[in-house]
C-alpha cells in the first residue's frame, strides 16, 4: 500500500525515532509499504518518520545506478549491488570516513528543493535486516550517501540542516514558504 509522505514542517520529521525491538507483521507490512511508496515517488530512499512512523527503520534502493558506488562489502566480502537491493534496514549504527565529498541531494519530504551536501564519502553501517540478521555494510558513493541521509531522518535531521551557512541563508525564504504551504495543506 502506498502511504502518504509526510512533508516538511510535520513534527515527526524532527523526532529522534525509537529503536525497533521486535519485527512483527506490522513492521514487515510497514517496510513493504515503504518500498512501494519510495518506488512510486521515484525516490532512492525513505525513512519510517517520512510515512509518519516514529521508528528506526528505513529503505534504500540505488540499483537503478550500479555505477554509483566503487566499493561494496557485506561482512567483509565483496557483493554485487543487486544482491542487497532494495535494502530494508533497522537500528543502523554508522562509522563515517574522514574524507568528505559533495553531491546533490533532495528529499521526498522537502518538495522542490535540491542542494549540494557535503558528507563523509564512505561508511561502515551496522544494520539489522527484517529477518533479524545483523550485518556490516561497507560502501561509498550514492549508497553511502543514501544510508547517511536516511539514518539522519531517524535522528530528526534533514539534509537542509547540513547545508553550509551561506546556502542556508539563501534557502531560508524557500523553506519558510514550504512550511507555510504545508501548514495550509
Size of the site for Ni ion (CB under 5 A): 1
In the complex, residue closest to Ni ion by CB: 107
CA-to-CA distance for 152 and 30, rounded, in angstroms?
A: 19
Site residues for Ni ion, window 93-152 (CB under 5 A)? 107
CA-to-CA distance for 154 and 111, rounded, in angstroms?
A: 19
Q: How far is the CB of 105 from Ni ion (least distance, A)?
A: 8
CB contact at 8 A, 8 and 109: yes
The answer to whether residue 150 is catalytic is: yes
Q: How far is the CB of 13 from Ni ion (least distance, A)?
A: 9
Per CB under 5 A, 34 contacts Ni ion = no
Out of 53, 105, 138, 150, the active site residue is 150
Q: How far is the CB of 40 from Ni ion (least distance, A)?
A: 15
Closest C-alpha among 57, 62, 135 to residue 103: 62
Asked, as a colleague might, if the bond just before 166 is cis with ω within 30 of 0, I would say: no
The site string for Ni ion over 62-101 (x = CB under 5 A, - otherwise) reads ----------------------------------------
Helices (H), 25-164: 25-40, 81-84, 141-154
Site of interaction with Ni ion (CB under 5 A): 107
Active site residues: 150
Amino acid at each position: 500500500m502506498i502511504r502518504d509522505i509526510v512533508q516538511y514542517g510535520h513534527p515527526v520529521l524532527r523526532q529522534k525515532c525509537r529503536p525497533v525491538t521486535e519485527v512483527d507483521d506490522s513492521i514487515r507490512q510497514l517496510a513493504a509499504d515503504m518500498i512501494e511508496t519510495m518506488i512510486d515517488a521515484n525516490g532512492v530512499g525513505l525513512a519510517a518518520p517520512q510515512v509518519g512512523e516514529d521508528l528506526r527503520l528505513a529503505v534504500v534502493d540505488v540499483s537503478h545506478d550500479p555505477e554509483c558506488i566503487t566499493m561494496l562489502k557485506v561482512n567483509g566480502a565483496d557483493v554485487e549491488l543487486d544482491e542487497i537491493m532494495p535494502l530494508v534496514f533497522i537500528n543502523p549504527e554508522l562509522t563515517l570516513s574522514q574524507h568528505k565529498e559533495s553531491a546533490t541531494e533532495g528529499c521526498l519530504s522537502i518538495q522542490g528543493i535540491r542542494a549540494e551536501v557535503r558528507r563523509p564519502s564512505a561508511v561502515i553501517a551496522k544494520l539489522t535486516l527484517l529477518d533479524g540478521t545483523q550485518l556490516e555494510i561497507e560502501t561509498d558513493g550514492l549508497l553511502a550517501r543514501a544510508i547517511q541521509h536516511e539514518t539522519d531522518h531517524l535522528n530528526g535531521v534533514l539534509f537542509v540542516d547540513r547545508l553550509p551557512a551561506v546556502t542556508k541563508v539563501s534557502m531560508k525564504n524557500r523553506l519558510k514558504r514550504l512550511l507555510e504551504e504545508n501548514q495550509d495543506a
